[in-house]
Amino acid sequence: MAVYDKVKTLLVEKFGVEEDEISPTATFEDLDLDSLDLVEFALAAEEELGVRISDEEAEQLDTLEDTVKLLEQKGATA
């Protein structure tokens, strides 16, 4: 799951999340990331993966596997 790995790297390197906290079922809330972080995440994902997540979509992001699914639907490839 290459996109998942990319998201994981992003969370660790840019958002300071501990690697062992990250799992497919973890939510952004579990990772102590708030709504401002989600907007930042959307900006970073656009830069790293070349797909755009709208602010409305960013607000809805829940688990990492759902996030990866959304990114893949939008054509993200690692």
Summarize as ranges the residues that interact with another protein (CB under 8 A). 14-16, 32, 36, 39-40, 43
SS3 string, 14-78, reads HHCCCHHHCCCCCECCCCCCCHHHHHHHHHHHHHHHCCCCCHHHHHHCCEHHHHHHHHHHCCCCC
Min dist. Cβ of residue 36 to another protein (A)? 5
Cβ distance to another protein smaller for residue 1 or 47: 47
Nearer to another protein, 16 or 50 (CB): 16
Give min distance, CB of 3 to another protein, in A. 22
Residue whose CB is less far from another protein, 52 or 69:
52
